[in-house]
């Protein structure tokens, strides 16, 4: 056991269970520890995938935090949580990195089920300051003034409006035990944008919006020292104390500033300058995003271990650039994720038509409403999970005015290893209540290109297109199109037993299910609605001609296309038995996309099993068949 912590011996050589072990180390030992942690991170994250660059940049900063503060008695919060890997190592979880972000393994973000050292599970940016404000107030209310609250906030996260709402309240709060550690590396994914980025560059005294990675041997450029006559910062102007900037890779200097902040009688900002990807050449030289979030890499080169297949994002990126060349009124917005949502090609060709607003989805959507009001067609590109942050603006600023704004929702459905906060499983439910909005779910690359063009061509209200995080796969051609619906499969010489309504990428599993059912003498029709909101009335008519209709989609069943389909059929008096397959009303843990789809029944075999079970129930309850034993070709859907 490790003295003072009760932590068991570790296979990894990091037998830590908290700060007491770190406080016993000397300067030379700390330097060695930082180097070993970096080597460990490169080795393990390259093996499993994960957030590499952000964690390489906070090694010394996190060591200093755990030497000055006593977690979990003192509350350490990370915004965002993808920079908490070093924190996990220092709190006894290094062995878990063998299964980082894998099913049943270590989460890629703070996780309360893993450790008492993880107080919140925040993986959406700009939230930690509000948490810190509330926790500090609660501790004061309970008389626990001996416990400190520390929020580690990236400069990118400070571009989010919620962070400034929190700062506005923190600045005049009655508590004295809050320290804000501003981890300034000049970027989130891309360089930090706007007035804040320029302000922090001036405070650094180097005129740079993003710090350059240091050469291996020369000393880093000197940072501006704290002085009584230093120009006021935006933080001081608000009423907060400010210390720095300090070299975030100097453990001793960080400790001095953190101890001073902890002893202060007011909320204090400690501004530390770090380098994203520090100590790993491929990350330091990666101009795109410093190897922010990576898949499996060759650690010697920092390059993918195998060639990447075309993704949904890359197909979108190519097509939006082509549309931009044809339609000068099309402009694009992103919330600090230009490359991640596929806009890099568009931005190179039309730099004046791309607006990166920082981590500020609410502003992005309301600004898009203004762009549309001004006669342009904005395309707002966000991860599906982040759309929830701007639902009010979508509803009241875009839809209420029937404005032509197109939303491109990347990472829809099950995303995989990033876990419950990043699954894009709520977008359909959120959008289902928005009047005037149309939502498309393409099943393949050809349909993505076509539906994106259809969406942008619409000028009577908002549109949205959702697609997953995965390789795009082969195209699935339709047998025919009927009233806007694509018929992908229909059984011949069999009665109309089952209608499978496939939303987007569920077309493949539904076709697999159809083949399995047909082999057992069950007639199947598979249809792709293409536009899943609103429900095409023809779907109800098709359902009426079958014994069973099953909707299949990779989103929550609550508020889904399927639930709307059931309502439309009920309104039309259709008595066909209906089943809605999708994801549960729950938070789904991390794992591979394939594993999670299997677990939740979204595979061909599981869909076929559900259809057989429902057909048996139909027979047992004596429900009349919806189809005919014999039909002419002209009667087929």
Check whether residue 448 and residue 558 sit in a common domain.
no
- Indicate if 582 and 457 belong to the same structural domain: no
533 domain-assigned: yes
In-domain check, residue 502: yes
Q: Give yes or no: residues 32 and 179 share one domain.
A: yes
Catalytic residue check, 176: no
339-343 mean pLDDT: 95
Residues 369, 454 within the same domain: yes
| Final residue belonging to a domain, choices 286, 303, 327 | 286
**What separation in angstroms does the CA of 498 have from each of 245, 291, 516, 562, 626?**
66, 47, 12, 15, 9
CB neighbourhood size of 312 (10 A): 24
Find the range with the poorest average confidence among 1-15, 164-178, 384-398, 601-615. 1-15
Residue 345 is encoded by which pair of tokens? 């090609």
Numbered residues of the known binding site for thiamine diphosphate: 82, 123-125, 156-157, 185, 280, 361
Domain of residue 449, CATH code: 3.40.50.970
The burial class, CB within 10 Å (0-12 / 13-18 / 19+), for 381 is buried
Mean pLDDT, range 448-473, rounded to an integer: 96
**Residues 172, 280 within the same domain:** yes
Higher pLDDT, 166 or 286: 166
Residues 6+ away with beta carbon under 8 Å from 143: none
Examine residue 9 and state whether it is found in any structural domain, yes or no.
no
Q: Are both 323 and 398 inside the same structural domain? A: yes
**Beta bridge partner(s), residue 413:** 424
Question: Following DSSP, what letter does each residue of 253-281 receive, concatenated?
Answer: HHHHHHHHHHHSSS-EEEEEE--TTTT-H
Residue 272 CA to residue 249 CA, distance in Å, equals: 9
Give me the catalytic one of 60, 257, 284, 361: 361
Which of these is catalytic: 276, 411, 490, 577? 276
The last residue of a domain, from among 243, 268, 286: 286
Binding-site annotation: residue ranges for Mg(2+): 155, 185
Of 297, 357, 359, 315, residue with least CA distance to 124? 359
Give the model's pLDDT for residue 13: 67
User: Is the domain of 527 the same as that of 499?
Assistant: yes
Six-digit token string for 304: 């993918």
Q: Are strands 438-440 and 531-533 parallel, antiparallel or unpaired?
A: antiparallel
* Same domain as 506, residue 589: yes
In 3D space, the residue among 583, 550, 622, 624 whose CA is nearest the CA of residue 468 turns out to be 583
Mean pLDDT, range 323-351, rounded to an integer: 96
Specify the pLDDT at position 227: 46
Q: Indicate whether 86 pLDDT > 90.
A: yes
Mean pLDDT, to the nearest integer, of 461-469? Answer: 97
Digit-coded pLDDT (tens) for 399-410: 999 999 999 999
Considering the domain boundaries, does residue 2 fall inside one?
no
Where does the pLDDT of residue 300 fall: very low under 50, low under 70, confident under 90, or very high at 90 and above? Answer: confident
The answer to whether residue 32 sits within a structural domain is yes
Task: Tell me whether residue 300 is in a domain.
Answer: no
Number of Cα atoms under 13 Å in the Cβ half of residue 128: 33
Options 44, 389, 530, 557, the catalytic residue: 389
pLDDT at 417: 87
Range of the domain at 514: 485-631
Is it the case that residue 307 has pLDDT exceeding 70? yes
Higher-confidence position of 218 and 172:
172
pLDDT mean over 334-360: 95
CATH number, domain of 591, equals 3.40.50.920
The three-state (H, E, C) secondary structure of 577-615, written as one string: EEEEEEECCCCCCCCCHHHHHHHCCCCHHHHHHHHHHHH
- Residues 286, 290, 296, 301: is their CA dihedral positive or negative? positive
Convert the pLDDT of each residue in 477-516 to its tens digit.
999 999 999 999 999 888 889 999 999 999 999 999 999 9
Question: Cα–Cα distance between 487 and 594 in angstroms, integer?
Answer: 26
477 occurs within a structural domain: no
| Mean pLDDT of all residues in 583-588 | 93
Number of structural domains (the chain) is: 3
In a domain, 303, yes or no: no
| pLDDT for 214 | 42
Q: Establish whether 361 is a catalytic residue.
A: yes
Strand locations in 70-177 (E): 75-79, 149-154
- Annotated active-site residue 43? The verdict is no
pTM, entire model = 0.88
Q: What is the pLDDT of residues 539-564, one digit of tens each?
A: 999 999 999 999 999 999 999 999 99
> Which residues are annotated binding-site positions?
82, 123-125, 155-157, 185, 280, 361
Question: Mean pLDDT score of the chain, rounded to an integer?
Answer: 89
Domain boundary among the residues 243, 271, 286 is at 286
Query: Is there a single domain that holds both residue 460 and residue 359?
Result: yes
Higher pLDDT: 531 or 493? It is: 531
Q: What is the pLDDT of residue 18?
A: 59
Q: What is the pLDDT of residue 145?
A: 84
Are residues 564 and 453 part of one domain? no
Average confidence (pLDDT) over 150-178: 92
- How many CB atoms within 10 Å of residue 326? 9
| 459 and 519 inside one domain | no
Q: What is the pLDDT of residue 284?
A: 86
Do 197 and 325 belong together in one domain? no
Please say if the pLDDT value at position 240 is more than 80.
yes
Quick one: pLDDT at residue 183?
Answer: 94
The per-residue pLDDT for 438 is 98
- pLDDT tops 70 at residue 198: yes
């Amino acid at each position: 056991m490790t003295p003072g912590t009760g932590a068991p011996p570790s296979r990894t050589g990091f037998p830590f269970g908290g700060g007491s072990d770190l406080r016993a180390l000397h300067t030379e030992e700390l330097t060695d520890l930082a180097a070993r942690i970096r080597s460990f991170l490169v080795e393990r994250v390259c093996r499993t995938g994960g957030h590499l660059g952000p964690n390489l940049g906070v090694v010394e900063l996190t060591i200093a935090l755990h030497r000055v503060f006593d977690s979990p008695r003192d509350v350490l919060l990370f915004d965002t949580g993808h920079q908490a890997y070093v924190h996990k190592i220092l709190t006894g979880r290094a062995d878990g990195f063998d299964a980082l972000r894998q099913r049943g393994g270590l989460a890629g973000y703070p996780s309360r089920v893993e450790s008492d050292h993880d107080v919140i599970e925040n993986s959406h940016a700009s939230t930690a300051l509000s948490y810190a404000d509330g926790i500090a107030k609660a501790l004061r209310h309970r008389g626990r003034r001996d416990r400190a609250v520390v929020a580690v906030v990236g400069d990118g996260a400070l571009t989010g409006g919620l962070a400034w709402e929190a700062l506005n309240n923190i600045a005049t709060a009655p508590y004295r035990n809050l320290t804000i550690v501003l981890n300034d590396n000049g970027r989130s994914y891309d360089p930090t944008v706007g007035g804040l980025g320029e302000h922090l560059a001036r405070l650094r005294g180097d005129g740079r919006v993003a710090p350059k990675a240091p050469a291996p041997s020369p000393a880093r450029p000197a940072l501006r020292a704290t002085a009584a006559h230093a120009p006021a910062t935006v933080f001081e102007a608000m009423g907060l104390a400010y210390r720095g900037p300090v070299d975030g890779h100097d453990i001793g200097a960080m400790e001095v500033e953190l101890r001073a902040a902890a002893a202060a009688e007011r909320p204090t900002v400690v501004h530390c300058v770090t380098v994203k990807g520090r100590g790993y050449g491929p990350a330091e030289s990666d101009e795109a995003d410093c190897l922010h979030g990576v898949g499996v890499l060759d650690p010697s080169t920092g390059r993918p271990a195998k060639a990447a297949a075309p993704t949904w994002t890359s197909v979108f990126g190519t097509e939006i650039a082509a549309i931009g060349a044809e339609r000068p009124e099309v402009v694009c917005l992103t919330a600090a994720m230009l490359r991640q949502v596929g806009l890099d090609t568009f931005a190179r060709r039309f730099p004046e038509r791309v607006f990166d607003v920082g981590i500020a989805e609410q502003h992005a959507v309301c600004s898009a409403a203004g762009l549309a009001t001004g006669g342009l067609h904005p395309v707002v590109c966000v991860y599906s999970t982040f759309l929830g942050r701007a639902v009010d603006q979508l509803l009241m600023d875009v839809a209420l005015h029937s404005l032509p704004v197109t939303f491109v929702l990347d990472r829809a459905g099950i995303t995989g290893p990033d876990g419950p906060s990043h699954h894009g499983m709520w977008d359909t439910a959120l959008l289902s209540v928005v009047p005037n909005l149309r939502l498309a779910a393409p099943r393949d690359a050809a349909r993505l290109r076509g539906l994106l063009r259809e969406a942008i061509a619409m000028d009577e209200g908002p549109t949205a297109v959702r697609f997953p995080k995965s390789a795009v796969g082969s195209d699935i051609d339709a047998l025919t199109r009927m009233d806007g619906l694509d018929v992908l499969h229909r059984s011949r010489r069999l009665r109309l037993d089952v209608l499978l309504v496939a939303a987007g990428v569920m077309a493949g599993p539904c076709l697999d299910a159809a083949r399995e059912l047909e082999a057992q003498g069950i007639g199947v029709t598979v249809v792709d609605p293409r536009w899943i909101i609103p429900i095409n009335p023809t779907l109800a008519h098709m359902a009426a001609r079958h014994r069973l209709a099953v909707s299949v989609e990779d989103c929550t069943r609550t508020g889904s296309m399927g639930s709307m389909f059931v309502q439309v059929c009920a309104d039309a008096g259709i008595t066909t038995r209906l089943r809605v397959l999708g994801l549960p009303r729950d938070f789904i843990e991390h794992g591979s996309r394939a594993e999670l789809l299997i677990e939740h029944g979204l595979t061909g075999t599981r869909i076929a099993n559900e259809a057989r079970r429902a057909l048996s129930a139909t027979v047992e309850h004596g429900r009349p068949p919806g189809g005919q034993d014999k039909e002419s070709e002209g009667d087929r859907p």
